[in-house]
Amino acid sequence: MSQGFRLDNVGMVNREKKISFKFNGKKYFGFEGDTIASALIANGVHLVGRSFKYHRPRGFFGVGVDEPYAILQLDRNNERDPNIRATEQEIFEGLEVKSVNCWPSVNFDIGAINNFLKMFFPAGFYYKTFMWPPSFWYKIYEPFIRMAAGFGEASIKHDKERYEHKYEYCDLLITGSGPSGLASAYAAAKNGARVILAEDKPRFGGSLLTSDVNIGNQTGVEWTEKIIAELKSMPNVTVKNRSQVFGYYDHNMLVMSERISDHLPKTQKYLPKQRLWYIRANEVLISSGSIERPLVFGNNDTPGVMLSSAAKEYMKVYGVLVGKKPLIFTNNDSGYETAIEFKKNGVNPIILDTRSDPSSDIIAEAKNLNIEIRFSYVVVAAKGYKKVKSADIAKISDDKKELFNIENIECDCICVSGFWTPSIHLASQSGNKSKFNEKIDAFVPDKSKQKENTIGSANGIFTLEETIKDAFDKGFDVSNKITEKNNKVSVPTVVEKKSTDHDKFWCVPLPKGKSYKRFLDFQNDVAVSDIELALREGFRSIEHVKRYTTLGMATDQGKTSNLNGLQLVSDIENKVVPQVGHTTFRPPYTPVSIGAIVGREVGKHSKPTRKSPMHSWHEKNNAVFVDAGVWLRPRYYKQGNEGLFEASKREAKNVRQNVGVCDVTTLGKIDVKGPDAAEFLNRVYTNAWLKLPVGKARYGVMLREDGIVMDDGTTTRISENHYHMTTTTAQAANVLSHLEYYLQLVWPELNVNVVSTTEQWAGAAIAGPNSRKLLMKLFPNLDVSNEGLPFMGYKEADLFGVPAKIYRISFSGELAYEINVESDNGYFMWEKIMEVGKEFQIQPYGTEALSTLRIEMGHVAGSELDGRTIPYDASLEGLVSKKKDFIGKRSLNRSAFTSTDREKLVGVVPIDKTTSIPEGSYIVKDPKAKLPNPKLGHVSASCWSVEYDNPFSLAIIKDGKNMIGQKLFAMSPLKNKTIPVEIVSSHYVDPEGKRVRS
């Protein structure tokens, strides 16, 4: 193993634990605590990817969330994770990652030809090129562009990892554990507030990890450790590392993604891979820090060019040198700190400072260390293709317009510092309009919109002393508002090196005769020339420039690119940056796994599953289940080799000939109680309800206010002021909301209460000519004769010691009863019915047989009451009262609803009596008519009639009443079928309804 760029005894990685991992198939070693980036740099690897558009070589630019280049694809436990930032992903034993955006390999990438064709890839290339002909879009352009786009491939396999959601409430959420986050968390926690402190990195401390400062006589790292230890010991504080608060939503709801197992070889038992926290915070302190700004010069995207703060962090945290001949290019004092760190580690850097004569403590220290410094100097262009080999540097005139003495010097990395950009993303997402701070050439949050404050360098405060003081104050103030306590902790003394003003210079002019690409947006390959072109072509609004050039898009979200882009647009437009404004920052701040967003609601868990009390009986008896809303219902009970068709035919036939039993627990049931219940039902249903006697049921239809049928079902008067309403399985929840709406808002004067009792009752429908005989055996003491319990009658009785309710209602069209018992007795009831029914050839039937029976009878269900039909269409107009008013009545007068050629329910039989008609088929007069063939209507439901042993369908067709007897065609282009049919009455079986009354 050779980690040629690893320093001895420097950094925070665990040298005791060596870890091997694979990058593009090759094995490397690092230490526990390394990221992929630090481990690769330690091994001297800088080429990790290819750029988006030109496929130029890509290395590392940053050290954390700001990384625009090093986006890799990770394989872990046979799972694929795209869009992984090498600067964030920690290594673990067996980790395998590979480069994206290159083929066949990162070293030899065919797409790199784009780099030589770059004059053909200007801004807006896709818009300009893939315009004509329009027909090419779908088949040629789009697949091609899609193939070229994106960072990595998502897996098409089911993600077996577990993700969780957590809802949390707190007084104060602090987003970042740098000096301001730690100080404010400490002050607020000590004052009794419930605090959540979130840190995106594995290590707490933010800039304190790398800065040479002293707080309360301790180093930054020592102070961090002390504060974190104390916070962790407090019961009112939650401290989380590897946790990124990525979105700020309405009413102080923030979302945080916690990476629990991503840094481990395998997800631990009982732990999820990631956890998404929905945090409702009373107050938020945004301490997300700042990101170093790049400087713009020729080929500034060459691997080896990186942020100076990143170079410093690689040394101090990971003990890794990013180069051995570093060139520091800076317009402020931050670059000096990096240079001093190099020098301390035995490496001689050269500093190029754009300023002519700055002086400060830090500069003095660099001079004392004999570091070579050149003032008024700039990097003109980086040289080298896959790694920086040298740089053209030059002296720059005082007006920063002219370059002199261009020379080439050898170097293996260029560390740039163009000053600092506060990370205002979260503040901006909260609705805070930012303001431009001239002193730091950057936007900072303005007036709070929600309950948020921004502290530390995220608010443009760049000295530690001020940051710490301000953060202690804010932490106290915010907690004081909430807890009303006054426990103030004293602010520690801070020792730091003083720095001087930065230079506003940010972009090196091109030398005469050179056309180097100078990049602004490293992730999306947007160069100075692209922005210039966009403006020449007339794009003015920064939002338009962004979309035309892709500046600041994708995962970068303007982290490193934003301000330089704005600066350029302002320069060209002769404006100042605040006039140009900035583009909108949108959540998420960093990419979030889709799995984390979905959480546990995957597959079967995406909605609850409801089962009837008889479910286990159905399972034991070979039921094949079907989803009915959230319920699982038996579709058919399989016997031997039967399929759906044979089984449902057998079951339906048995109902017509003997007796069948069906689990109807899933039907919606609503108790309607109160002295005004009858009046209420009279307003809800289209038919009359005032005279329904106790002990009787009635079928009712309810409408929406627009006249469309909402639902149907029977309602039974249990006692004077108590009604038992049933709804369809699918509409149960909507009907309850509908009733509550009218009772609470429209007619509050009605003394009525409604409550769902769906789950309180288990229901079994007994249907068939033998059903009365069965009932006599089930209830030997009850008079169940046609006189004793007539059609639409209701009785309460005792079922072998269990109280039961018997409704004589029928969906199948046969003599039928529905028995309800309390849910806990459902299984008992079912077993008794099966046991006693044996001698009457009872068989259970599922939803498929149930459909067959109702279709044959012409009873409407969900496929006819599809949100488009009025009572007339479904042949329910007989139930519409002319005398009284009800919900939706006024709409039935609409001319479209009274027109005589409305579509109406009919029956359809194929002429050959053998070909089944696909549901959804169109009914047409002439199957050969020119398309679009004028349709008369559609087939809503189909079955195999067990009564007549031929196919039968229901259809809703124009002028249906007058079409009966006509010979037409059912066409299904989907199934490629044209079937000659005859239109018949929808009441195919027992049109007089004798059986139900027998």
- Is 370 or 895 the residue whose CB approaches other proteins more closely? 895
Q: How far is the CB of 867 from other proteins (least distance, A)?
A: 15
Q: How far is the CB of 937 from other proteins (least distance, A)?
A: 26
Q: How far is the CB of 468 from other proteins (least distance, A)?
A: 33
As a whole number of angstroms, the distance between CA 112 and CA 120 comes to: 13
Helix (H, G, I), strand (E, B) or coil at 761: strand
Structure tokens at 164: 């969780």
Structure tokens at 57: 């070589």
Q: How far is the CB of 680 from other proteins (least distance, A)?
A: 12
Interface contacts to other proteins, rule CB under 8 A: 167, 249-253, 278, 280, 431, 683, 705-706, 737, 740-741, 744-746, 748, 884-885, 890-891, 893
Q: How far is the CB of 387 from other proteins (least distance, A)?
A: 48
Q: How far is the CB of 898 from other proteins (least distance, A)?
A: 12
Q: How far is the CB of 172 from other proteins (least distance, A)?
A: 16
The dihedral built from the CA positions of residue 735, 737, 739 and 742, taken in this order, carries a sign that is negative
- Is 254 or 379 the residue whose CB approaches other proteins more closely? 254
Location of structure tokens 């209460």? 753
DSSP H or E run through 579: helix 577-580
As a whole number of angstroms, the distance between CA 48 and CA 51 comes to: 10
Closest CA relative to residue 331, chosen from 72, 176, 505, 139 = 505
DSSP H or E run through 304: none
- Is the bond leading into 588 cis (omega within 30 degrees of zero)? yes
Helix (H, G, I), strand (E, B) or coil at 72: strand
Closest CA relative to residue 971, chosen from 932, 914, 913 = 932
Q: How far is the CB of 747 from other proteins (least distance, A)?
A: 9
Read off φ and ψ for residue 193, nearest 5 degrees.
-80, 150
- Is 439 or 890 the residue whose CB approaches other proteins more closely? 890
**DSSP strand E in 216-268: where?**
218-219, 237-240, 243-249, 253-259
Q: How far is the CB of 251 from other proteins (least distance, A)?
A: 4
As a whole number of angstroms, the distance between CA 527 and CA 520 comes to: 5
Q: How far is the CB of 327 from other proteins (least distance, A)?
A: 49
Q: How far is the CB of 250 from other proteins (least distance, A)?
A: 5
Rg of the chain on CA atoms, in Å: 38
- Is 130 or 249 the residue whose CB approaches other proteins more closely? 249
Q: 631-637 and 623-628: which strand pairing? A: antiparallel
Helix (H, G, I), strand (E, B) or coil at 728: coil
- Is 565 or 587 the residue whose CB approaches other proteins more closely? 587
- Is 273 or 669 the residue whose CB approaches other proteins more closely? 669
Helix (H, G, I), strand (E, B) or coil at 642: coil
- Is 698 or 738 the residue whose CB approaches other proteins more closely? 738
- Is 196 or 281 the residue whose CB approaches other proteins more closely? 281
- Is 346 or 748 the residue whose CB approaches other proteins more closely? 748
Question: CB under 8 Å to 975, separation ≥6 — which residues?
Answer: 918, 921
- Is 326 or 445 the residue whose CB approaches other proteins more closely? 445
As a whole number of angstroms, the distance between CA 106 and CA 109 comes to: 6
Q: Exposure pattern of 964-978 as b/e (b: 16+ CB <10 Å)?
A: eeeebbbbbeeeeeb
| Angle subtended by helix axes 847-857 and 644-657, to nearest 10 | 60
- Is the bond leading into 122 cis (omega within 30 degrees of zero)? no
- Is 736 or 816 the residue whose CB approaches other proteins more closely? 736
Q: How far is the CB of 279 from other proteins (least distance, A)?
A: 11
Q: How far is the CB of 886 from other proteins (least distance, A)?
A: 8
Q: How far is the CB of 240 from other proteins (least distance, A)?
A: 20
- Is 587 or 660 the residue whose CB approaches other proteins more closely? 587
Helix (H, G, I), strand (E, B) or coil at 294: coil
Location of structure tokens 């899609």? 146
Q: How far is the CB of 477 from other proteins (least distance, A)?
A: 23
Using CB atoms within 10 Å of the CB of residue 308, give its burial: 0 to 12 exposed, 13 to 18 middle, 19+ buried.
Answer: buried
DSSP H or E run through 37: helix 36-42
Please give the span between the terminal C-alpha atoms of the chain, in angstroms, as a whole number: 92
- Is 184 or 450 the residue whose CB approaches other proteins more closely? 450
Location of structure tokens 């048995």? 654
8 Å CB contact between 509 and 403 = yes
- Is 325 or 449 the residue whose CB approaches other proteins more closely? 449
As a whole number of angstroms, the distance between CA 160 and CA 29 comes to: 28
- Is 10 or 750 the residue whose CB approaches other proteins more closely? 750
Q: How far is the CB of 735 from other proteins (least distance, A)?
A: 13
Q: Exposure pattern of 486-502 as b/e (b: 16+ CB <10 Å)?
A: eeeeebbebebbebeeb
- Is 528 or 592 the residue whose CB approaches other proteins more closely? 592
- Is 249 or 699 the residue whose CB approaches other proteins more closely? 249
Q: How far is the CB of 885 from other proteins (least distance, A)?
A: 4
- Is the bond leading into 591 cis (omega within 30 degrees of zero)? no
As a whole number of angstroms, the distance between CA 685 and CA 706 comes to: 14
Question: CB under 8 Å to 417, separation ≥6 — which residues?
Answer: 292, 293, 295, 307, 308, 309, 328, 329, 330, 331, 332, 334, 335, 338
Q: How far is the CB of 755 from other proteins (least distance, A)?
A: 9
- Is 600 or 994 the residue whose CB approaches other proteins more closely? 600
| 333: Cα separation from own chain's centroid | 43
8 Å CB contact between 853 and 654 = no
As a whole number of angstroms, the distance between CA 398 and CA 965 comes to: 98
